[in-house]
Amino acid sequence: MRLMEQIPNLNFPAPLPKSLFVVDQRFDAPKIDDIPSATRQAVDKLAARMKPGATVAVGVGSRGIANLPIIVKA
């Protein structure tokens, strides 16, 4: 079912505006030929800013990122 048709069924704790609009958002998606290399370059750039002995937590799980397993493996 379409989102706009579901709005009256929402149990929302605040009043909704009288007018709602569907918005389509598009992002530039440049093609990266060597994903592992590009990932390593980005991580190396961040690592250069870290102090020796620092610890890092890495979390993964975002929707909409193409080739996520390749990026994580790199």
Which pLDDT does position 1 carry in this prediction? 59
List the structure tokens of 59.
């979390």
List the structure tokens of 52.
């020796």
* Polymer length in residues for the chain: 74
Domain locations in the chain? 3-73
Report percent pLDDT > 70 for the chain: 99
What is the CA 43 to chain-centroid distance, rounded? 17
- Calculate the average pLDDT of the chain: 86
Distance CA 25, CA 1 (A): 20
Write the pLDDT tens digit of every residue in 24-51. Answer: 888 888 899 999 999 999 999 999 999 9
Res. 19 pLDDT band, cuts 50 70 90: confident
